[in-house]
């Protein structure tokens, strides 16, 4: 993957640009010394590091608007950044662009229980929202594993999910409104405490747009009452195939659990070494199924799920009997990344989604690829919705391993698409999967997406080089080629 070559003219104007920005926002909000900028040189895809041209840390929406407008006039690129936990390089800086950090937007503005929503600034962490309302029995449902750190604005930009999105949806399903600033400095308010915004669903297309369409400066999210009871079940299987079938059988029985996660043998053992969660080490596949709701409902559904698991050939079944035990069940899954980090110097986390029924086939193929590339792989899945997180183990210091890991990852994603799935279920395209977009989309599909980009940012100044493998100029994209006189279907009437 390559980062676009820096524009030398912009690099040469660096001090002038710093001065210009300092003339519109307070000096201390413009960071231009290398040692302070170092903290921003990468996001969660840390194999890619790049010092930004400058860092700006605005404190108000008006400052964001002034910065963007100035950058538009001066044709300077801008990369928005929340907490920098993106795993796809969405917030990787550009050497010839300013990094616009939203860390100072860290306040909860309003809690409204009667309308069940929270209004917050984008730099508030995902968990920060739940913390604000949990004493009153509420929570914010989407729960990415990075929730202690990642920002709600970053969640909007990535349309993040979590283990509970099977039942409660992704960010997009829990977002009611935003305030945003477009590259020309216009401040827009979309949605709010009401549902749908009227006219085109700009809120919907902003969600998951990876910082390419606008900068989110405020969010209104739905909060939910905490379920009365939550219980989890640990189920071991001899084969991943059986576990996969068991997952489908639960859904086919009309049950949508709050979460349904799967781990394969290597992931089970790594997690068990790390967290001692009580996982069956001899199992080749482990399911963690969580049910929530009123106690009687959870009891009734647990019974049904248990029956399904038995008939699908489960080798071990444990049901949590206390909150402590439930947390213990999850401890292994939630520490899967650091656990794998302990058995391998480095790992690469992939994020494709496939139709659930293709899971066994995908795992067979993955085993083959693991052999081919000579690298181990551990798998954790959001099995309920077919979202895979293969962790490719490698050693960045061993010559050629990083390249092999990247090639292995790309191969996995190509296979996801070939099996009817997609390149990314929740981590975003960023720079990581940018060059694979052609696997899933035709040239016309990608051009249509870029035309939407042009409606927001006609000069491609906001987070360019992400998501799209080839950047077409908006003027070129807008041109119409009228095929006059071509009549491949002469039977159709002409006017």
Partner 1 sequence: MDILSPTSLDEVRDIIRNCLSDETSLSLRGAGTKSSLGNPVVADAQMQLSGMSGIITYEPEELILVARAGTELTEIEALLEAHNQMLSFEPFHPEILYGGTSSGTIGGMVGAGLSGPRRIASGGVRDYLLGFNAVSGRGDIFQSGSRVMKNVTGYDLSKLMAGSFGTLAIMDEITIKVLPAPETSVSLVVSCSDLASAQAACSQAFASAHEPTAACILPRDIAANVNLGGDAFAAIIRLEGVEVSVANRLTEMQNLLGPIGELHSLTQELSANLWRQVRDAAFFNETHEQIWKLSVAPTACVGIVNKIKTSIDASYFMDWAGGLIWLAGAGERLGADIRDVMASNGGGHATLMRASDDRRQNISVFQPQAPALMSLHTRIRRAFDPKQLLNPGRMGA
Ligand X SMILES: Cc1cc2nc3c(=O)[nH]c(=O)nc-3n(C[C@H](O)[C@H](O)[C@H](O)COP(=O)(O)OP(=O)(O)OC[C@H]3O[C@@H](n4cnc5c(N)ncnc54)[C@H](O)[C@@H]3O)c2cc1C
Residues that bind ligand X (CB under 6 A): 43-44, 79-87, 90-91, 102, 122, 144-146, 150-151, 153-155, 157-158, 160-162, 210-211, 215-216, 337, 426-427, 463
494 binds partner 1 (CB under 8 A): yes
- From the list ligand X, partner 1, none, pick the one residue 150 interacts with, judged by a Cβ distance below 5 to 8 Å according to partner type: ligand X
Nearer to ligand X, 203 or 301 (CB): 203
CA neighbor of 358 nearest in space, from 309, 317, 281, 412: 412
Least distance to partner 1 from the beta carbon of 302, Å? 11
The CA distance from 265 to 282, in Å, is 8
Indicate which of ligand X, partner 1, none lies near residue 337 (CB less than 5 to 8 Å, by partner kind): ligand X
> Residue 224: exposed, middle, or buried by beta-carbon count in 10 A (0-12, 13-18, 19+)?
middle
Among candidates 375, 318, 321, which has minimal Cα distance to 348? 375
Among 8, 9, 198, 322, binds partner 1 (CB under 8 A): 198
197 scored as a contact of partner 1 (CB under 8 A): yes
Query: Checking phi first, is residue 192 left (phi over 0); if not, alpha (psi -120 to 50) or beta?
Result: left
173 binds partner 1 (CB under 8 A): yes
Q: How far is the CB of 490 from ligand X (least distance, A)?
A: 48
Establish if 495 lies at the interface with partner 1 (CB under 8 A): yes
Quickly list DSSP for 117-153: EEEE-TTSBHHHHHHHHGGGTEE-----TTTTT-BHH
Q: How far is the CB of 459 from ligand X (least distance, A)?
A: 17
Quote the radius of gyration of the chain (alpha carbons, Å). Answer: 24
Q: Give the residue with the Cβ less far from partner 1, 13 or 304.
A: 304
Sorted by sequence, the CB contacts under 8 Å of residue 400 that are 6+ apart come out as none
CB 233, min distance to partner 1, A:
17
Nearest to 382, CA basis, from 327, 419, 333, 432: 333
DSSP one-letter code for 473 = -
Pick between residue 81 and residue 356 the one whose CB is nearest to partner 1: 356
Of 294 and 345, nearer to partner 1 (C-beta) is 294
Contact call for residues 80 and 100 (beta carbons, < 8 A): yes
Contacts of 234 (CB under 8 A, 6+ apart): 278, 279, 280, 286, 287, 288, 316, 317, 318, 319, 329
| Cβ count within 10 A of residue 442 | 9
By a kind-dependent CB cut-off of 5 to 8 A, residue 86 interacts, out of partner 1, ligand X, none, with ligand X
Give the shortest CB-54-to-ligand X separation in angstroms.
16
According to DSSP H, which parts of 169-261 are helical? 202-206, 240-252
DSSP for 334-381?
HTHHHHHHHHSSEEEE---B--GGGHHHHHHHHHHHHHHHT--EEEEE
Could you tell which of ligand X, partner 1, none binds residue 256, using a CB distance below 5 to 8 A set by kind? partner 1
Q: Is 385 in the site for partner 1 (CB under 8 A)?
A: yes
**Selected binder of partner 1 within 4, 69, 441, 472 (CB under 8 A):** 441
Residue nearest to ligand X (CB): 154
Run of H or E including 300: helix 295-311
For position 328 contacting partner 1 by CB under 8 A, the verdict is: no
Q: Please state the closest distance from residue 147 (CB atom) to partner 1, in A.
A: 17
What residues numbered 252-271 form the site for partner 1, per CB under 8 A? Answer: 252, 254-256
Q: Which is nearer to partner 1, 16 or 445 (CB)?
A: 445
Widest CA span of the chain, in angstroms? 74
Q: Give the one entry of partner 1, ligand X, none that residue 146 binds, where binding means its C-beta sits below a cut-off of 5 to 8 angstroms depending on kind.
A: ligand X
Identity of the residue, 72 or 245, whose beta carbon is nearer to ligand X in the bound complex:
72
- Output 279 or 347, the one with its CB closest to ligand X: 347
Closer CB to partner 1, 50 or 173, in the complex: 173
């Amino acid at each position: 993957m390559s980062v676009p070559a820096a524009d030398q003219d912009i690099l040469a104007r660096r001090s002038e640009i710093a001065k210009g920005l300092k003339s519109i926002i307070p000096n201390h909000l413009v960071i231009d010394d290398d040692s302070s900028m170092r903290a921003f040189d990468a996001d969660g895809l840390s194999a890619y590091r790049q010092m930004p041209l400058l860092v700006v840390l605005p404190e108000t929406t008006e400052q964001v608007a002034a910065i963007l407008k100035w950058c538009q006039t001066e044709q300077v690129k801008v990369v928005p950044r929340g907490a920098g936990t993106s795993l796809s390089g969405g917030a990787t800086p550009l050497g010839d662009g300013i990094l616009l950090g939203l860390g100072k937007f860290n306040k909860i503005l309003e809690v409204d229980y009667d309308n069940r929503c929270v209004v917050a600034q984008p730099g508030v962490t995902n968990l920060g929202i739940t913390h604000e309302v949990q004493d009153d029995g509420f929570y914010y449902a989407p729960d990415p594993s990075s929730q202690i750190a990642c920002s709600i604005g970053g969640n909007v930009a990535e349309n993040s999910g979590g283990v509970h999105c099977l039942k409660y949806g992704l960010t997009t399903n829990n977002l009611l409104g935003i305030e945003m600033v477009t590259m020309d400095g216009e401040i827009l308010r979309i949605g709010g405490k009401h549902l749908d915004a009227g006219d085109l669903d700009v809120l919907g297309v902003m969600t998951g747009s990876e910082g390419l369409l606008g900068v989110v400066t405020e969010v209104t999210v739905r909060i939910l009452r905490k379920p009365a009871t939550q219980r989890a079940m640990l189920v071991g299987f001899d084969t991943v195939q059986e576990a996969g079938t068991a997952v489908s059988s639960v859904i086919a029985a009309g049950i949508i659990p709050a979460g349904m996660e799967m781990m394969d043998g290597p992931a089970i053992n790594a997690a068990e070494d790390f967290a001692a969660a009580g996982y069956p080490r001899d199992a080749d596949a482990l399911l963690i199924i969580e049910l929530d709701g009123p106690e009687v409902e959870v009891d009734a559904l647990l019974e049904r799920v248990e029956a399904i698991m038995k008939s699908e050939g489960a080798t071990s079944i444990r049901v949590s009997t206390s909150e402590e035990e439930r947390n213990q069940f999850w401890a292994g899954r939630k520490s899967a990344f650091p656990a794998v980090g302990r058995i391998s110097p480095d790992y690469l986390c992939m994020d494709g989604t496939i139709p659930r029924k293709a899971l066994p086939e995908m795992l067979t193929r993955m085993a083959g690829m693991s052999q081919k590339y000579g690298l181990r792989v551990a798998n954790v899945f959001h099995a309920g919705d077919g979202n895979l997180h293969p962790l490719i183990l490698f050693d960045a210091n061993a010559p050629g391993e990083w390249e092999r890991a990247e090639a292995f990852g790309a191969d996995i994603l190509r296979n996801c698409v070939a099996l009817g799935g997609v390149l990314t279920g929740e981590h975003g395209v960023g720079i990581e999967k940018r060059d694979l977009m052609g696997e899933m989309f035709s040239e016309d599909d990608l051009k249509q997406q870029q035309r939407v980009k042009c409606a927001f940012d006609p000069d491609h100044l906001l987070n360019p080089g992400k998501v799209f493998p080839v950047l077409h100029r908006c003027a070129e994209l807008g041109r119409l080629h009228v095929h006059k006189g071509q009549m491949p279907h002469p039977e159709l009437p002409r006017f």
